[in-house]
Structure 1
Amino acid sequence: MVGLGGTAEKLQKVASMAEDVYKKLNEMRKELNALRETVERVDDQTTQNRALLEALADQQGIDVDTVLAQTAIEEAEPTADDGTEPGAADETGTATDDTSDSPTDAANANGGTTGATDDTTDGSA
């Protein structure tokens, strides 16, 4: 009956492996419960922070729904993450974004001057 000794050894190994798996499963269960508690705590804090921010926005006359809608629109718009630089020309020679530096934009950026020289000097220096 030498075969029974080998079978008993194999059964012992399987039982030992099952016990290890059971311990690991219990550890993972505890970790999952701790993670759930953390998520609930963060969710509660986020809800409180949102309420505070909405109250502050209301005091400042800011419409939260409009800000959120505008943010969602901006996030949904395609960006220049396709490897091209904003304002760079594409294959057709047109700019990849619709922002341009008009003289008005340049004037605003330079404190009210466009940076162009005035050619109407009277010659007196």
Structure 2
Amino acid sequence: MGLGNTAKKLQRVADMAETLYQKIDELRSQVNEVREHVEATSQRVERIERDLDDQRAVLDALAREQGIDVDAAAASAAIEEAEPGKTVADAEATDGTADDAPSADDTAAAE
């Protein structure tokens, strides 16, 4: 009787090993797919970064040609994104760095 139980236990262990092997094989395939996807995404990101650098160089050249202060425009965009409706002049007034010269609105109100 002991031999029959042992054979059943060994068969169960063999079945579990086969199931485990199949799951490991599936995981290996999934890991390979993820690795390929990550590599493709990395290549895409590198290409996009190169394109962005090229576009930035063109925009900087155009801005210089047109006399646009790129840093001021970027700061304005950052302020607008952080606090919608607020302008660079508003931020400077809050910081105390605004010019003391009256604005067009102040001049119009005084008339």
Whether these two folds match at TM > 0.5 is yes
Q: TM-score, normalising length from structure 1?
A: 0.60
- Residues matched between the structures, number: 80
Structure 1 partner of 2:22: 16
1:56 equivalent in alignment to 2:87: no
The structural deviation recorded for 1:77 is 1.3
Q: Structure 1: which 4+ aligned runs deviate by more than 3 Å?
A: none
Aligned with 2:81 (options 75, 78, 94): 75
2:71 pairs, out of 65, 71, 78, with 65
Residues 39-83 of structure 1: CA deviation (Å, up to 9, x unaligned): 01001100100100010011111111111111111112156xxxx
Task: Name the structure where helix makes up a greater proportion of residues.
Answer: 2
Deviation track 1:3-53 (CA, whole Å, cap 9, x = no partner) reads 111110111000110011011101100100000000010011001001000
Matches within 5 A, 1:14-53: 14-53=20-59
SS in 1 for 2:68: coil
Gaps of 5+ in 1: 80-103, 105-125
How has the CA–CA distance of structure 1 residues 30 and 51 changed in structure 2, closer, same or farther, with 3 Å as cutoff?
same
- SS of structure 1 residue aligned to 2:63: helix
Q: Deviations over 1:58-112 (max 9, x none)?
A: 1111111111111111112156xxxxxxxxxxxxxxxxxxxxxxxx8xxxxxxxx
| Partner-residue secondary structure (3-state), 1:62 | coil
With the length of structure 2 as denominator, give the TM-score of the two structures. 0.68
How far is the alpha carbon of 1:2 from its aligned partner?
A: 1.8
Aligned runs of 1:114-125 on 2, under 5 Å?
Answer: none
Identity of counterpart residues, as a percentage? Answer: 36
